[in-house]
């Protein structure tokens, strides 16, 4: 695509053009990935090394107790990996009602009873076994080194760390692991994590077996059980990640691919299926007309996603029904170009996350995401191995419906990697591996950045740096403080309840993008890293 490489937005970043690239939200993780390519590894090796390093460098967003997903192009075809954990065998609605009262609507937000089986480590192993080139133990060497030697805390990570401390400081193991001086580390202070280094060594030596049913799982069972939780080593031992077929939707001559439910990636596909009915390119890129249409399409998508999406076996409708052309056309007709609306779900039936991406000169491209969900997740940290455990269980409902908690079930999931392809002369070609972090901001970020690139020809870095909006609920939206003031006033005039937010990190996600410029051995890639984080796109 002939991008306009002029960037009209304030930024601290420039595009990176190289034949081998890693883009992450922390520079040390990007460099960990490049180390694997320098050793002869491929993009999968680089992604795993970067992901392991991220558990140490950005523990405010992910850890060794995270879930993960990936979409990758192996050079010839696309593959999806679901490494999201399942509920413990003890989890039923009655279990939580006995613990938290008959009026409880969901499992708790924090603490031992918010923890499902973490899947990220199993995802690393599965990716390595199927597509990696280097020995698995080699991939964890940079993360072990960073954990043992320590690193100086960067600005954005420190802000999130300090903000989480008042809520999480009293939870089991948190202070011991993450408040080394009785407080959050300050910018520029050295943070070491020797317990996590110990876990990484055992994971490396055992290829994950120590984690799933072995000594690490047993340590987690003991520690969580001492503090009132019910997850067991047997729950860990029974878990396996799944290879899945990504779902897809065409838009402007390209095809966007997302992981299927129980993830929310389908929201981006629905919104783009609605927006293709409008001539966005004929509207000013940062004007109210274009932004309003995107917001309304996203609201329609979320109305259906929150109503219908759960683990596929529990859904009332299929993903194909939710993406049906005629259905999306009917949803598009509900949009009033001049008025904000609060949409309900339609009837499609007939009758705190890190994201990283890596690409190599042989054409392999990896879109990878892992998360502890809300910041440090459950706030529970097994201290002997430094396992910071996610709180994905909070995504279940205790009420009857598709997302009601049950033993061995996966909850509604927010983290979603994405991939873009196009069809040329009857064959599928890879175009971009990308993602945008940040709870329900993720599909919204996918839509906003893709519209900028595909409708307006903005470069990945400009699309990344541009001001964003975020839909919350009803008529409520947040907008970044750098959004055009006239656009903000006009959105308010159309009925949007607009709140301008100064903290870009908090509400608007952060993305990493790698766009294939041509033959990877010749032209290579164009990479971008979001200036809303401490990140880096690096290559050679």
For residue 353, the model assigns a pLDDT of 85
Distance between CA atoms of 193 and 28, rounded to whole angstroms? 15
Q: Provide the residue ranges of all domains of the chain, joining segments of one domain with +.
A: 28-66+75-241+378-395, 244-353+415-427+467-510
To the nearest whole percent, how much of the chain has pLDDT over 70?
Answer: 99
For residue 351, pLDDT beyond 50? no
The predicted-structure confidence for 402-459, as pLDDT tens digits, reads as follows 899 999 999 999 999 999 999 999 999 999 999 999 889 999 999 999 999 999 999 9
The β-bridge relationship of strands 525-529 and 16-18 is antiparallel
Dihedral angle of Cα 163, 442, 535, 411, to the nearest 10 degrees: 70
The predicted-structure confidence for 202-214, as pLDDT tens digits, reads as follows 999 999 999 998 9
Tell me which residue has tokens 């966005």: 280
Q: What positions carry a catalytic annotation? A: 353
Whole-angstrom CA distances from 2 to 17, 431, 456, 460 are 15, 13, 11, 12
The predicted-structure confidence for 23-60, as pLDDT tens digits, reads as follows 999 999 999 999 999 999 999 999 999 999 999 999 99
For residue 263, the model assigns a pLDDT of 93
User: Which residues on neighbouring strands pair with residue 430, listed in sequence order?
Assistant: 421
Closest residue by Cα to residue 47 from 119, 148, 126: 126
DSSP 389: B
Q: Enter the tokens of residue 155.
A: 């600005």
Q: Which CATH architecture has domain 244-353+415-427+467-510?
A: Orthogonal Bundle (1.10)
Q: What is the mean pLDDT of the chain?
A: 96
For residue 507, the model assigns a pLDDT of 75
**DSSP character string of 302-317:** HHHHHHH-SSGGG-SS
The predicted-structure confidence for 217-246, as pLDDT tens digits, reads as follows 999 999 999 999 999 999 999 999 999 999
* Number of other residues whose CB lies within 10 A of the CB of residue 257: 22
């Amino acid at each position: 695509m002939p991008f306009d490489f002029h960037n009209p937005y304030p930024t601290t970043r420039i595009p990176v053009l190289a034949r081998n690239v890693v883009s992450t939200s922390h520079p040390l993780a990007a460099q960990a990935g490049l180390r694997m390519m320098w050793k002869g590894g491929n993009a999968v090796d680089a992604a795993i090394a970067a992901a392991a390093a991220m558990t140490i460098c950005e523990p405010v967003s992910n850890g060794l107790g995270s879930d993960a997903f990936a979409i990758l192009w192996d050079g010839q075809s696309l593959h999806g990996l679901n490494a999201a954990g399942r509920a413990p065998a003890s989890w039923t609605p009655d279990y939580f009602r006995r613990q938290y009262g008959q009026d409880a609507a969901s499992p708790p937000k924090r603490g031992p009873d918010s923890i499902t089986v973490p899947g990220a480590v199993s995802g690393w192993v599965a990716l390595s076994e199927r597509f990696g080139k280097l020995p698995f133990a080699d991939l964890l060497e940079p993360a072990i080194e960073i954990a043992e030697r320590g690193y100086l805390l960067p600005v954005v990570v420190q802000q999130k760390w300090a903000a989480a401390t008042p809520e999480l400081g009293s939870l089991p193991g948190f202070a011991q692991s993450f408040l080394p001086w009785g407080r959050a580390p300050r910018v520029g202070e050295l943070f070491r994590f020797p317990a996590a280094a110990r876990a990484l060594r055992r994971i490396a030596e055992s290829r994950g077996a120590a984690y799933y049913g072995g000594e690490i799982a047993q340590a987690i069972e003991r520690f969580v059980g001492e503090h009132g939780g019910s997850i067991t080593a047997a729950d860990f031992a029974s878990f396996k990640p799944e290879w899945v077929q990504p779902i897809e939707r065409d838009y402007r001559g390209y095809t966007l691919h997302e992981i299927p439910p129980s993830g929310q990636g389908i929201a981006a596909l629905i919104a783009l299926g609605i927006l293709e009915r409008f001539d966005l390119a004929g509207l000013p890129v940062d004007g109210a007309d274009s932004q309003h249409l995107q917001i309304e399409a996203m609201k329609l998508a979320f109305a259906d996603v929150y109503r219908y999406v759960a683990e596929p076996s529990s859904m009332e409708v299929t993903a194909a029904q939710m993406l049906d052309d005629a259905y999306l056309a009917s949803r598009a007709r509900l949009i009033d170009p001049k008025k904000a609306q609060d949409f309900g779900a339609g009837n499609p039936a007939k009758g705190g996350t890190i994201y990283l991406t890596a690409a190599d000169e042989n054409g392999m491209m990896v879109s990878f995401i892992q998360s502890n969900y809300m910041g440090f997740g459950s706030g529970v940290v097994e201290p002997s191995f430094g396992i910071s455990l996610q709180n994905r269980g909070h995504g279940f409902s205790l009420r009857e419906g598709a997302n009601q908690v049950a033993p061995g079930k996966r909850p509604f999931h927010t983290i979603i990697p994405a991939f873009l392809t196009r069809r040329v002369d009857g064959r599928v070609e890879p175009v971009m591996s990308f993602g945008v972090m940040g709870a329900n901001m993720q599909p919204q970020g996918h839509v906003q950045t893709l519209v900028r690139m595909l409708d307006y020809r903005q470069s990945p870095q400009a699309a990344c740096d541009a001001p964003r909006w975020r839909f919350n609920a009803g008529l409520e939206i947040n907008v970044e403080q750098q959004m055009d003031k006239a656009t903000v006033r006009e959105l308010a005039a159309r009925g949007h309840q607009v709140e301008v937010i100064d903290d870009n990190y908090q509400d608007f996600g952060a993305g990493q993008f790698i766009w294939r410029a041509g033959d990877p051995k010749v032209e290579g890639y164009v990479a971008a890293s979001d200036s809303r984080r401490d990140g880096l796109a690096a290559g050679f």
